[in-house]
Each structure stands twice: as C-alpha cells, then as structure tokens.
Amino acid sequence: MSSTEYLRNYGLANMKAEVGWQAGATGNGVTVAVVDSGVSNSQADLVGRISTASTDVVPGRNTPYVANDSHGTLVSGVIASNFNGLGSVGVAYESTILSIRSDISDCEDEDDDVCFSSSDLVRALDFAVANGVKIINMSLGGDGRLGSAFEAALLRAVNSGAVIVASSGNDGEANPGWPAQYAVDPRFSGAVIAVGSHGATNVMSDFSNRAGATAVAYISAPGEDVITGCDGTSCWRINGTSFSAPHVSGALALLMDAFPNLSGRQALAILLDTARDAGDAGTDIVYGRGLLDLANAFRPVGTSSTPMADGGSIVAESEPGSFVGPAFGDAFSRQTALGTVLFDSYDRMFAVQLGGAYPTAPSRSYQAAPFEPSRTATTRLALPNGGRLNLTASQPAETPEPIAPRYDLTAAPWLGDEPRQEAMLDLEMGRLSFATWQGRGGARSPFDGAAGDGFAALAQADHAARGAMRFGSLTFAAESGGGDRRMPLRRVEAEASSYSRATLAWRGADGGLSVSIGGLDERLGPLGAFLPGGSDFALPSRTSFYAVGGDWTLRPGLRLIGEAGMGSTRIEGRFLSMDQAAISSNWRLGLLTGCSMVCDRISFTLSQPLRIESGTFSALLADVPVEYFDPLTYSRRSFSASPSGRQIDFILGGERRLWDGSSLSVQAVASREPRHVADAAPEFALIGGWRRRF
C-alpha cells in the first residue's frame, strides 16, 4: 500500500494489517474498551470513532473527554484512527472506542504521568462488561497484584466473553508487570494476553518487559517510534508497551469483524498460534509466542475442510509437490468454477479456489540427462535349437551422484534418491521371445520405444514384462508393467500405476508400421499426475489408448518417421469427476537424412506433446454465501479439461562421428505455446552431447 497515512506508522506493515483489510475487515461493528486516561472527542482522526457511552468511572469527576495529547487518546488512535487522508490510520479504522477514563492525578511515583487505583479499574471492567464489550485494552501496569476485588472483576469480565489485552510494562525486566501477569493465572487462562514491544527491525525494545513466566500467553507488537495523535500540522512519535498493546487490540477487532463466529478467546488463541517466531525457536522467555502477524492470522489454522452436499467434507489441503499431468496444461489454473468455502479448526469460513490444489505440472527440462558411468554385466547362454538366454544387469560405476541433482523436479518428478540400477532377462526360442525387466532410481523401461509410448511411459514403470511372436515380417507383442511413484522427501506410493499394451508390427525392407492398443491405470491421477492416494484431491483414472507409428525410406538416405496416439481417460475423484471420457492426443513427424558436410546425420522433427482435446470436469460444491451466516447452498460447477493452447515443438538435430570413435550430437529446440498455454512466450533450448564407449 502507498497511502501516506498507512506508511506513516511502520507498525501497520510490520504486523501486516493490510492483509486483514484486503480480506474486507476494518473493525466495523466491533467495540474496543480502552481503560485509560480518557479520550479527546475533537481529535480529527477519531471523529465518529468514539462511543457516546464513553465514561469516567472515578467517583465525583465525570469528565470522560480530555485533551488531544492524553495517553488514552494516543492509545485509541493506534486502534481506530480513521482512514481519511489525515494523520495516521488505525489498525481497525472502523472500530468503535468505548473510552473508560480511570486515571487518577495523585500518583505515588512522581515519574508517572498516569496512574490508576484498583478500585477504579474494578469499576472500569464492570462498565465494559455491562456494555457488552469483548475486547478490553489496558495499556497500564504495576509491580504487584491488583487485589481480590480486581481479580473478581477480571473473572466477571472473562466469564462474560471479554478478553483483556495488557501491556507488559516498560522497565526492561524479565517478567511483565500486572495485570499482564494474570495471562497465565489458570482462572483467566486464554482470556488475557501480555504484550511486549519491538521496533521496525523486529528486535525486542530495550524498555520492554520480557515474556518470562508468561511466555505461553505473551506476544510482541510494534511499540517503538509509533506515530499517532496527528493534528493538522504534526503527530506524536511515542514509545512504550502502552502502544504495542493497542496494535493487538486492533488485530483482535479485525479478526472478530472478518469472522463474527469467533469468541474473544478464540481470536486471542489465533493471534498466539500464528505469531511469527522470533528469538529462540518456538516459545521463549523473551518474545513469548513471537511477533504479531495478521498475514498468518488471516490464513486457515489447523486442519481445514470443505463441506460436501452429501453431508460429508473433504480435507481442503493439497499435498506438497502435487501436480496434474502436463496434458492438462493450464486447464485447472485458469478456471474459476471451483470457488467454494472451507472451514478451519476454529470454524472460520474462508472463500477458497480448489483449483489451486491442482498445480500445473513442472516445466519440462531440456537439459540432457547427466552422464552416469555404469558397470554392465551380461551373461549369454546358447540354448538348443538356436535359442538364446541373455541376462544383463547394470549399476553405477562410482558412488551415486549427490542427492541434490536428483531433486530436479522439472527433469524427472518421480525420482527419489536411489542409485540407478536395472536388470533384464531376455529369452528367445525360434519365433517366440520373452523379456522381463526391473529397474529403480529413474531407470526407464526398454519397452517404452514402441508406438504409443506417449501413454505407456506415463506409468513410469519400474518393472515390466514383454512377450512376442514373429510371423515372417509381422510381430505380435504383448506387455505389461507397473511402478511405484517416488517424490523427494516423501513416502513411496506403492503400485501407483500400471499399464498393458498389445502391438502388431510389420517390418519390410524400406520401413515399418506398428499399431498398438492398451490401457493405463493411474491411482494418483490421470496422465502422469501426482496427487497422493490418501488425498481427497486424488483423481484415480483409467485410460484406453491407441497408437500408430512407422518409418519409411523415401529414397536412399532420406527416411520419414511418424507416430500418433489417442487416449480416452475416465476419472472419478472424491468430489471432482468427468461425466464423459476425456480425449487426448499426441503426434510426432520427422525426417532423417544423411549429411556429407559438417555432420553424418541430420533430423527435423515436428511434434505435439500429449494434450487433452475434449472433456469436462464437474463438481457439486458449496456456494460462497453473500453474508457470513447465510445457510450454505450447493451448485454444480463445470469447466473444460482442455488447456488454452497447443504446444508444438520444432527440433533440429545433428550427429557427427569423430575420428576417435566417439560421437557428438546437437539439438536445437523451439516450442510454441509451451505447456499448452495460449500466448505463452516461445521457449528455446540448445542441447549438446558427446558419447564414447570404452
């Protein structure tokens, strides 16, 4: 925010008051009792903010209104100064101040400008209760308990539902003064908060009494160089926990305005639970629970749930690292149909966009896979009648690379921190062949290269088996596989996906053609999604896919290659489903030719990664009510599963054999509408590689 009156007091930004304002909270309808030295009813910034019920409880005086520079006026300004272009703005700038003047003039300590008697404070508390006030600010304190009469009045106040915000004191001591120390008295537990002071750098003020024995009920708020009490030409710059306490009172007013179902105790607990940690980790004897932070306080606390029309609810929290399959592009992120409500552990209602639980898949990385030296052992066994049995196993030649490179989610989101290992058994007996493979650490199935691998590869199999039979130039093959899903620092999702595929392939002298049909089951979400199975946001799916691929020699040295696939995916989630199957497609078309000048082979490929072509998601969700306490209604929402754009990749590649037997390869890649997002800026990559066998 750039308002001069907002910027004038750093405390507002320090406590992130603007987050409450952006949520629509201003303190409107909330009254804060300020037990202090009275208030000026002519202070420009407080016009319209002072309750006409304001009073003076000292017997025989009856002068509730005082000069502009009174302690009570300055405290009230921190809470409720108008947002009117003048002076400074209060934390809860539309709240109402019930000023309860309680000060006396005959202070025992000549250094005190304002002092109070416990009997007058008793009358002040009872007056606040009688007027139904739920927030009582007490920017005052002393060295000892305030007596049984005060404690009885305090008990009456907290039993009425009021909470007391008490400044910790300005003696720089290890413990707060009184009444702040009542914050940990079991009789008042949860209804009294002790407030210390910090400055713009979030360091505890030298003068502020520390949390000490009240640490569990102590919070720190801005109390140094606070700007308040402005008139037409000047403002007061003041220090003290007297002015950190009203920051907390204003914060409570914002919470109770935004969430009118909250009790005072609940609002107080939220501020303590969401305080920004400072000093030693966790609750400590200096900062107590930490620094006042309304950004945290205006977020859901604890487990949040979204009500369902069937009377149940879903846990409205997505798992870290979740994402939908790349084929959906921006379908989830650009929709607005999934707007609904959630309730946190304090039963506060928040508007929420559930589409945020389905982040777009990580960007594809064009970085070539790092070279990983490996040891490979192969055993070959000749069988009768020309049969062969091959067993091959490989593992890293050195120790595995550091864990950090494996956490590149953009390159391979399913990798964990296992070393790459794989083994394959291959049996051939005449026309028949059978192979079984198992791998881990990101090893890829050797069977992915068949037509349709745009779908089968999504299973991210760590085990697979394939059987085939040859009939001259025709080969019929069937395979199946499955795999766990691994994400860094997460539990393994066992048997998360599986696939099966049948392929009929023809191979002639000038080319070949293959046709595939198969099925893909994904427990965590469709088409490569990672939505953990225990989550209410998981989208179990089954895809039937069909693919055709082939290559043909157009003339010597010039080969045409192509592949196209289509899928039909059915999805049934906890609350999000599809009435009809989603149709998806991918294709690739390329030319490969020799090159007699700078390279041996050059290729040009045009391709479209897997993309949803049609399909509609729907959900029956609660509507966001107009008023907070309106009864919930439900409506059916729908949105297209197709992304806004269509990614097309242009790839120019070349390969050159070198004199020492090694080879050098280069690829230039240009992507139009990357990640299937319309109007997205084109992306470019240049990839080089060198390979040599030893």
Alpha carbons 256 and 250: distance in angstroms, whole number? 10
Residue among 598, 615, 603, 606 nearest 563 (CA): 606
The verdict on whether 36 is a catalytic residue reads yes
Q: With CA atoms as reference, report the closest residue to 651 among 591, 566, 562, 584.
A: 591
β-pairing verdict for 192-198 and 163-167: parallel
Q: Do the beta carbons of residue 123 and residue 102 sit within 8 Å?
A: yes
Query: 354 φ, ψ to 5°?
Result: -65, -15
Q: How far is CA 569 from CA 502, 530, 546, in A?
A: 18, 16, 12
Determine the Cα–Cα distance for residues 23 and 299; give it in Å rounded to an integer.
10
Locate 257 and state its tokens: 């305005």
CB atoms within 10 A of CB 401: 14
Token pair for residue 276?
């920004």
198 included as an active-site residue? no
Catalytic residue (choose from 54, 71, 168, 497) = 71
Structure tokens at 278: 């400072």
Cβ partners under 8 Å of residue 169, min gap 6: 141, 176, 177, 180, 208, 209, 241
Given the residues 36, 45, 453, 649, the one annotated as active site: 36
Rounded Cα distance between 687 and 669, Å, is 8
Which one is catalytic: 242, 304, 514, 603?
242
The first and second tokens of residue 424, run together, are 């394959």
With contact defined as beta carbons under 8 Å apart, do 410 and 365 qualify? yes
Query: Measured in Å, how far apart are the chain's first and last C-alpha atoms?
Result: 64
Instruction: Answer left, alpha or beta for residue 654, where phi above 0 means left and psi between -120 and 50 means alpha.
Output: beta
CA 275 – CA 296 distance, rounded (Å): 7
**Which sequence positions are flagged as catalytic?**
36, 71, 242
